[in-house]
Structure 1
Amino acid sequence: MNCLNTHSVRFLEKNHDEIDLFEIMHYVWTEKYLVLASTFIAVVIAFIYCMTAPKLYETSSILRPTAINDLDALNRSEVYKLPPIEALDKVGLRLQSYDARLNFFKSNPKLFEPFQKPGQSLEQGFDSFNREAIILDLPDPKKTENNKYIKLQMQYPEGVDGVSILNSFIDYALELEREEISADLKVIVDNRLSEVREKITAAKSNYETEKESRIALLLEKDTIKRAQLQDELQGLRLQMRVARENRISELGEAISIAKVMGIKRPTTPSSLSSSNQIMRTEVNNQTIPLYFMGTDALEAERTALKNRTSDDFANGRIAEISKDLKILNSNREVEILNQRKNEDIFLQNIDPLRAERSRLRSINTDMKNLNLVAIDRRAQEPLGPIKPRKALIMGMSIVMGLMLGVILALFRQTILNRRNTARLKVLEAPLTVNRDTVEK
C-alpha cells in the first residue's frame, strides 16, 4: 500500500461519474513542466513560422463622386450628360473590366514581373494577379448616393510595388474612360454638325428652288405681258391700216362726185342753191358731204394717205405700248436676284442653325483634364504586412500550447491512474483472503 500514490487512491475511491475540477487542476499543476514544455514548443514553432512565412501587404484607394462643377463644362455642352454618380459608376465598371486589367498588365511588364512564374503564359500570370491581388469593394446599393464610393484593394507579396501598381491602374482606368468620353463626345458633336449642315443645305436648296421659281414666274409674267402688248399693237396697226384704206376709198368716191358736180375747191351746199334760206336750214340739220371739200383737197388727202408708211403716230396708245415693251426688255428684279453673291444672308429661319453650328464647333472634345471622380485616398505604403499576423499567431500558439499541455497532462494522469488501479486490485486480493480466514 505504501507504493501506491495517495492521491491516486483517493481519486479511485470517488464516484467515477463525477468530475472533480479541483483534482483536475491539481493534476495539471502536477504536470506543469509538461504543460510549459508543450507551450514553449508551440511558441517556438509559431515564431519560426512568423519569421519564415512570406509577408503579404495590403494597400487600398477610395474613389468618391466628383464635384458637380468638375463636370459642368461637359454637361453644359448639351450633347453629353454625365452626372457625378454616373461618372463614378463608369469608372467602377472600367476598374472591374477584365479587358482593362489585361491591357494594363500587358503594358506594364516590369511592374508584374513577380507575378510571372516560370513556365506560365502571360494570360496565366495575369489570371493569378486578377483573381487574387485586386479586390473591388462596392458600397451597399441601399445606401444613399451621398455615401457612394468605390474602394480598390490590393494584396501583394514582399518585393512587389503594390502601391505603384494600384495607383497606376486607377490612373490608367481614368485615362481610358476619358478617352472613351472624348471619342463619344466627338462622334456626337460630328453627328450633330452633320445634321445641322444637312438642314442648312436643305434650306439653301429650298432657297435656290424658290428663287428659280420666282425668276421663272417673273419672266413668264413678262413674256405674257409682252405677247399681249404685241398682239394689241398688231391689232391697232391693222385697225389703223384698214381705217386708212377705207378713208382712201371714201376719198375716191368723194373725188368722183366732186368732179361730176364740178366742185374743185371746198364749198358748202348753200352756195349751190338758189334759195339761200332753205339751203341754210338743210345745212344746219344735215352733215355736209365729203365731196364738198373739192377735188383738189380730196386728191391731196388721198395722195398723202397712199404715201404714208406708218400709221403709228396717229394713235397715242401705240406709243404707250412701245414704252411698255421697252420696259419689258429687262426685268430688274430678275437681274438683282441673279446678281446676288452671298445668298446665305437671304436664307429664312436659318439663324438658329448657324448659331447651333458655331456652338458645336466651339465644344472642346479633349477630355484629358476632366475630373471624373474624386480620389479620396490614394494608395500608400502600408506600415506593416497583414500576413502573417505575428501577434495573433503568437497568442494562438500560447493558447494552443497550453491546451495541448493540459490534454497531455490529463492523458498522462489517466494512464497512471489506470496502472495504479490495476496494482490496487492485485494488493486487495490477499487481504480479502486473510479476512475470510480470520472470520472462520
Structure 2
Amino acid sequence: MTHQTTNTNYTSQPNPINNFHLDTKEDEIDLFELWQTIWNQKILIAGITVLVSLGAALYAISLPKTYETNAVIMPPSPSQIEAISLASLKDFDIEQPQISTVYENYLEQLNQTESLLSVLQNPAVKDYFQQKELSDTKRFEVLSESLNVSLPTESKEKLVFKTLETSLKFEAHDPQITLDVINTLLQTTANLTQASIKQNLLTAVQERINTTQLQLNLENERVNREIIAEISRLQDQDNLSLASINQQIDLLRDKSKQERQYRIERLKIDFDIAKTLKIEVPVNPQDYNRQASSITKVDFSNKDPSRYWLGTKILALEIKSLENRLNEDAFIDELAELLKKKEALKLNVTIENLKARKDNFPFSDSLRNLKTKLDRLDQIFKQVTLAEFTAYRLVKPAYLPEEPIKPKKSLIVAVAFILGGMLGLLTALIRGAILKRRAENNIQKQPTL
C-alpha cells in the first residue's frame, strides 16, 4: 500500500518540460489546418462576399448621379480692357484701370454674396432648386457648398512666370445646371465688376467735372466783375470827357459872347465917328471926298478897330445884327468839332458791346481753357458710360458633362467585394474555431477505454 501510494504521488506531480512543449504546440498556427478551415467555409465566404457586393451595387445604383463641370480663367488681355483704360484719365489725376486691378476686382466680386444670389435668379437654376423645395437660405448654402473656386495663390519662390489661373468647379445632379451655374456666375460677376469699375471711374470723373464747373463759374463771375468795372471805368472816363467838352464849349461861348460885346462897343464908337464925319456909305479912309461907288471891295475881315469909313448905314446894320444875335455857335470855329465829340460820347460802342455781351469765352483764355477741360471730362464721362470690357480671359470654357463623377459604382462594388471577402474570411475563421472547439469538447467528454 505504501509503495502504491508513493508511486501514485510520484506520477501525479506536473512535469514542467512536458507542459512547455504542450503550450508551445498549442501556440503554433497550423497553416494547413487554417487553409482547410477556409476551404471548408468557401461557400460561406463566397456567399458573404456576394451578398455584400450585391448590397453595395444596389446602394450605388440608388445614389443620385452627380455631375461636375469646371472653367479656368486668367487676367484679361490689354485689348479686352482697352475701352475702359483711357489714357486721358491720367491728365486729370484719375487712376487708369490696369489689368491687375480689373482682375483683382473680378476675383473679389466672384466670392461676393451678390454674385451667388444673382446666379439663383437664373430661371433654370431657380427651377432646379424649386423642385427640391428648399428655402432661400438653404438654396444659398447648397450653391455655396457645391461651388469650388480656386483662386491664385501667392508663391514665395521667385518664379519667372506667375500663375494667375482661377478654377471654378460646380457639382449638381443635373448636368445642364452645372453648365448654367458656371456660365451665369462668370457673366454675372463680369457684369458686377463692370458696374463697380465704371461706377468708381464715373464718380471720380464727376468729381472733376463738378470741380471744373465750379472753377468755370467762379472765373466767369470774375470776368463779369471785370466787365462791370470796365464799363464803370469807361462811363467815368466818358463823363470826364463830356465835362471837359462842356467846359470848353462854355468857355468858347463865353469868349465869343465877350468878343461880340467888345465888337459892338467898337462898332458904336466907329458909328459915332462916322456920324460925326457924316460918312453914310463906305469911303476910302485916305480920301474922304471919294464916294463908296468907287469901292468895289470891302474887307470885313480886317479887325482894325477904326472902321468908321464903312459908314453909318453899314455900321448901324452890323451893330443891330450883333445885338440881335441869339446864338454864337455858328460863329465859333472850334465848336463844331467839340459838338461832334460830345455827340459821340452819347453812344459808347465799347460800353454797349460790353453790356450786350452774353458769352465771355471768346474774350477770356482762362475761360476757354476751363471750357475745353470741361468738354474733355464730359467726353470721358460718356466714353466710360458706354465702355464695354471683359474683366477676365476664358482659358478653359465650361462644358456640358456627359458622365457623372458620382457615384463611382465600380469603385464602390470593388471596395465592397474586398470588404465582403474580408468579412467572409473573418466569419469563416470564427466559425471554424467554434466548430473546432466543439469537436474537442466532444472528444474530451467521451469515456476512456
> What is the TM-score with the length of structure 1 in the denominator?
0.69
Which whole-Å deviations, capped at 9, do the CAs of 1:379-436 have from their partners, x for residues lacking one?
Answer: 2133532222234323322332343234334434544565566568778x979xxxxx
Cα deviation, residue 225, structure 1: 1.1
CA–CA distance in structure 2, aligned partners of residues 404 and 396 of structure 1: 12
Per-residue displacement from partner, 1:255-294 (whole Å, max 9, x unpaired)? 99x99xx9999xxxxxxxxxxxxxxxxxxxxxxxx99999
Identity %: 20
User: Shift in Å at residue 27 of structure 1?
Assistant: 1.4
For residues 53 and 100 of structure 2, the distance between their equivalents in structure 1, rounded to whole angstroms, comes to 51
- Change beyond 3 A, Cα 1:344–1:69: same
Instruction: Give the superposition deviation at 1:314.
Output: 7.2
CA contact (8 A) 1:27 1:409 kept: no
Q: How big is each residue's C-alpha offset from its partner over 1:121-161, in whole Å with a ceiling of 9 and x where there is no partner?
A: 4x145235324322222222447894223222111125763
Measure the CA separation in 2 of the matches of 1:101 and 1:11.
76
* Residue 49 of structure 1 pairs with residue 63 of structure 2: no
SS of residue paired to 1:364? helix
AA paired with 2:117?
A: L
Aligned to 2:165: 149
Across the aligned residues of Structure 1 and Structure 2, the Cα RMSD in angstroms comes to: 4.7
Contact 1:136 1:153 in 2 (8 A): yes
> For 1:126, which of 132, 139, 150 is the aligned residue?
139
Answer yes or no: is 1:324 the counterpart of 2:318: no
Secondary structure at the aligned position of 1:75 is classed as coil
Greater mean alpha carbon deviation, residues 69-78 or residues 312-321 = 312-321
**CA deviations over 1:38-72 (Å, ceiling 9, x no partner):** 43333333222222222212111122111012112
Q: Equivalents in 2 of 1:326, 1:97: separation in Å?
A: 80
The residue that corresponds to 1:14 in the other structure is 24
The 5-angstrom pairing of residues 395-406 of structure 1 reads 395-406=414-425
What residue identity is the alignment partner of 2:66?
L
Change (3 A) 1:11 1:166: farther
Instruction: Give the distance between the partners of 1:52 and 1:227, measured in 2 at CA.
Output: 115
Q: Are the equivalent residues in 2 in contact too, given 1:65–1:148 (CA < 8 A)?
A: yes
Residue 102 to residue 229, structure 1, CA distance change in 2 (3 Å):
same
**1:227 is matched with which residue: 237, 243, 246?**
243
Following the alignment from structure 2 to structure 1, what is the Cα–Cα distance between the partners of residues 175 and 82? 43
Matches within 5 A, 1:402-413: 402-413=421-432
Give CA deviations for 1:86-120 in whole Å, capped at 9, x if unaligned. 32333333332323322332341x44434335664
Aligned residue pair count: 394
Match of 2:77 in 1: 67
Equivalent-residue separation in structure 1 for 2:32 and 2:258 (angstroms): 161
Deviations 1:6-27 (A, max 9, x none): xxx99964277x6x5x646851
Asked if 1:344 is matched to 2:358, the reply is no
Residue in 2 that maps onto 1:103: 118
Cα deviation for residue 341 of structure 1 reads 7.0
Structure 1 residue 166 corresponds to structure 2 residue 182: yes
TM-score by length of 2: 0.68
Amino acid at match of 1:361: Q
Residues 317/201 of structure 1: CA separation in 2 closer, same or farther (3 Å cut): same
SS in 1 for 2:366: coil
Which amino acid is the alignment partner of residue 165 of structure 1?
V
Indicate how the Cα distance of structure 1 residues 49 and 340 shifts in structure 2: closer, same or farther if over 3 A, else same.
Answer: same
**Paired AA for residue 231 in structure 1:** Q
Taking a change above 3 Å as real, the CA distance of residues 252 and 369 of structure 1, as seen in their structure-2 partners, is closer
Matched, 1:116 2:130: yes
Name the CA distance, whole Å, in 1 between partners of 2:229 and 2:348: 15
Q: Partners of 1:329 and 1:93 in 2: how far apart?
A: 74
1:379 to 374, 398, 401: 398
Unaligned 5+ runs, structure 1: 1-8, 266-289, 432-440
- Counterpart of 1:31? 38
Segments of structure 2 that go 5 or more residues without pairing to the other structure are 1-18, 280-304
Q: Distance in 2 between matches of 1:368 and 1:414?
A: 83
Give the equivalent residue in structure 2 for 1:434: none
Residues 73, 369 of structure 1: alpha-carbon distance in 2 compared, 3 angstrom cutoff: closer
Answer yes or no: is 1:393 the counterpart of 2:415.
Answer: no
> 1:31 and 1:210, CA in 2 relative to 1: closer, same or farther beyond 3 A?
same
How far apart, in 1, do the equivalents of 2:386 and 2:150 lie?
Answer: 27
Q: Give the distance between the partners of 2:444 and 2:34, measured in 1 at CA.
A: 22
> Residues of 2 paired with 1:367 and 1:112: CA distance?
31
- Mapped partners of 1:107, 1:94: distance in 2: 18
Aligned to 1:84: 99
Q: Distance in 2 between matches of 1:367 and 1:24?
A: 85
1:346 Cα offset (Å): 2.4
Deviation at 1:375, TM superposition (A): 1.4
Shift of 1:367: 5.3
Residue 137 (structure 1) aligned with residue 150 (structure 2): yes
